[in-house]
Amino acid sequence: MTRWGIFAPDVGTAWSFRGRDADMAAVRTAVLDPAALGAVVGGPGGVGKSRLLHEFAATVDTPVLEARAGQAPALRFGAFAHLLPIRTPVREVAGAVAALLSRAGEGAFTVVADDVHDLDGDSALLLAELAKTGRMRLVAAGSALPAPLDGLALVPVELRPLTGLAALAEVDDPTAEYLAEATGGDLRLLHELLRAGRATGVLDGGQWKEVPARSGDGPASLEEAIARAALLAALDSPEEAEQTLADAPRRPEDKARSVLACARAAVLAYGLGRAEDADRVLSVALETVGMPAARQRLLAQRAAFAVHRAESRAAFDLADDAAELADADPGIRARIDTVEAVTAALTGQATAALDKVRSGLRLSDGWLEHAPESGPLLEFARSWVWITVGDLDAAAEHVEPSDDPVARAATRARVLRGRGQVHAALREGWDGARLLDRGKSLFAGPCLGELAHAAALAGDLATARHALAEADRRALPTLRALWFPVALARPWLLVAQGAVGAAVHGLLDAAAAAEALELRPYALTALHDVVRLGAAGVVADRLAHLAEDAEGDLAALCARHAEAAAAGDWSGLIGVSLEFEDLGMTLHAAEAAAQAAEVHWDKQQAAAAGTRAWVLVQRSDQVRTPALRTAAVPDLTRIQYEIAELIAAGRTEPEIAEQMSLAARTVTEQTVEICAKLGVSGPERLAVLLAPPV
């Protein structure tokens, strides 16, 4: 669910799982009943259906397959896309059943399907066919079963709101009674109410101060209004959320007034796209609030808005103003550090960004409860810095505390795409996009952009189009900085459709927009993509200029790639290819080698570069970008392929002769011919060229 807080990322609620013993037992009984296929869990929103499925799946002793409603809706069997082969898409139900049964192994298996009412028709039909095998047990949750599943023998298990909020252990009895009455057992609303209580100071040490008397159906307190508005915004009802906050009971203290102003501004900015109105609310509050900590909260929120609008200088200035007021409490200090870390990362200030990330993470024990949204953003800044300097291994590391699965999926997809593992990146993008269906997220841009980018490279045009359409639907003028991954993905869909010229123009426009906003890493990426598409002469000077002050190795390498490609420099392109390979960027390395093969007059040198490109393509999911469309399969016979593979594996010529039952002289002659065809000087170089990656 989405929280419209300082940064409003998707952050899950990690309640202790308690009070559901009877419900768990009912599901377990249904699964073990030979007369039933399993259970379907129902109940009102926020009662804990998804959590029950998650906890049950962790207890079963059979293989568990997950049906992900809302994932890859443009594909057949989209809810199972993460379990089906990508390179050879499954077109028929029978093939999908066979693929899933092979995943499940022998014997019984369990399928878990949350939000089953949202399953696409093909996936629902696939579930019905799996049921006919007699091996599947199904545990589903949702408001209704899709038509293909109507006749399945599923035992209904209806969840009721937890009496007295049995999930809650850290508050006293009067507070628990108040929370139970205020939330009606909705755990999502409970989460937001606790958060609002802590932020305004009325919840302290497990006790709610001044429990308000209830009258009528509306919120009895400011905290209830803030909590309900957060839930309404998460359920994509920002107009109702704004009205709830506008009508909220007021409290005179500066702290409460600043919390209300921040909550209302967040809904206006993130929910309704009304950036000017959001800024006006914060400005009015700053004119009337005198308490330093409350002013810090308001300035930190304004700084966050400036980050998202890509107003980097304003973000830095506002964060500095907030930091100078007084010693900030841990939550506000974390937000200030987060603004500075994200702004520095997006503008290419790698060292400064990492310093702020380390500062924020070092103090996480103090802010984790009050500002949990800082964790995913600090992690985003950290990983983005390492990506922009070319250290994919460091970017792939996961640093706690970061509990936003959409942000993690976007980062993993970006790292995998950088490594040329396009199909794995596509799966990660699907994972993140599926979670977006439960609410909006700051990371929708990076996630949907990566999904579209990977899908375009993989030739999955339907998914790429769907992801870009979703990105357009979710676009807000207040989220410019994190929407550039979408702008960088869109031209690659044009490439996949054969419109390379239009793609170059799109990338040039994206680069110009990024430069105007001082988002240097995005500009560098867009310009280097132009080089990859064969128009290096257009951007070589701009890339060289941007790389002059850039930190890390990658920017300078991209500039050298542009220079070598523009000059038709064979040795320069081969050198660039080797450097990209050293960074783990296999697809980029293959493209540079393929460009080298096109420019050398000597057939043997051209063949060597072409072979290198072909070998690297095999390690990059066989992606065919424009530079790689000429990376032909080396002209070797079947026997020559076998000999080449054995040489790459480190076998000597006598060993190869014995293993293949060939004369030693024949192996020697074939090795000479192989080396000539592949453009290498001898068996040692051949072994290096064809050796699998470490």
CA neighbor of 72 nearest in space, from 574, 591, 428: 428
Q: If pLDDT is split at 50, 70 and 90, which confidence band does 5 have? A: very low
Q: Is the peptide bond before 683 cis (omega within 30 degrees of 0)?
A: no
The model's pLDDT over 607-662, given as tens digits with 9 standing for 90+, comes to: 777 778 888 887 778 787 888 876 655 666 767 767 877 877 788 888 888 888 88
Higher per-residue pLDDT: 687 or 447: 447
Q: pTM for the full model?
A: 0.82
Instruction: Give the rounded percent of residues in the chain with a pLDDT score beyond 90.
Output: 45
The model's pLDDT over 372-398, given as tens digits with 9 standing for 90+, comes to: 778 888 899 999 999 999 999 999 987
Whole-angstrom distance, CA of residue 584 vs CA of residue 420: 9
Over residues 409-419, mean pLDDT: 94
The model's pLDDT over 45-102, given as tens digits with 9 standing for 90+, comes to: 888 898 899 889 988 889 999 998 888 777 788 889 888 887 777 889 999 999 999 9
- Which DSSP state fits 269? I
| pLDDT of amino acid 169 | 56
The model's pLDDT over 94-144, given as tens digits with 9 standing for 90+, comes to: 999 999 999 988 889 999 999 999 898 899 999 999 999 989 999 999 888
Do 64 and 112 touch, CB atoms closer than 8 A? yes
| pLDDT of amino acid 667 | 85
Of 420-429, 527-536, 645-654, the range with the highest mean pLDDT is 527-536
- Which helix (H) or strand (E) is 526 found in, with range? helix 520-532
Do 59 and 25 touch, CB atoms closer than 8 A? no
| pLDDT of amino acid 328 | 64
Do 425 and 416 touch, CB atoms closer than 8 A? yes
Over residues 295-320, mean pLDDT: 92
Single-letter amino acid, residue 607: A
Average pLDDT along the chain:
86
Whole-angstrom distance, CA of residue 298 vs CA of residue 303: 9
Is residue 309's pLDDT more than 90?
A: no
Burial class (CB within 10 angstroms; exposed 0-12, middle 13-18, buried 19+) of 277: middle
Number of helices (H) and strands (E), helices first, in the chain?
A: 33, 7
Q: If pLDDT is split at 50, 70 and 90, which confidence band does 599 have? A: confident
What percent of the chain is helix, strand and coil (3-state, nearest 5)?
Answer: 65, 5, 30
Single-letter amino acid, residue 400: E
- When mean pLDDT is compared across 283-297, 569-583, 596-610, the lowest value belongs to 596-610
Q: If pLDDT is split at 50, 70 and 90, which confidence band does 440 have? A: low
CA neighbor of 11 nearest in space, from 344, 470, 443: 443
Over residues 365-371, mean pLDDT: 71
Is residue 241's pLDDT more than 80?
A: yes
For the chain, domains (ranges, CATH) are 21-158 (3.40.50.300), 173-391 (1.25.40.10), 415-628 (1.25.40.10), 638-690 (1.10.10.10)
Higher per-residue pLDDT: 408 or 435: 408
What sign for the dihedral angle of Cα 213, 219, 222, 223? positive
Q: If pLDDT is split at 50, 70 and 90, which confidence band does 1 have? A: very low
The model's pLDDT over 479-530, given as tens digits with 9 standing for 90+, comes to: 788 889 999 999 999 999 999 999 999 999 999 999 999 999 999 999 999 9
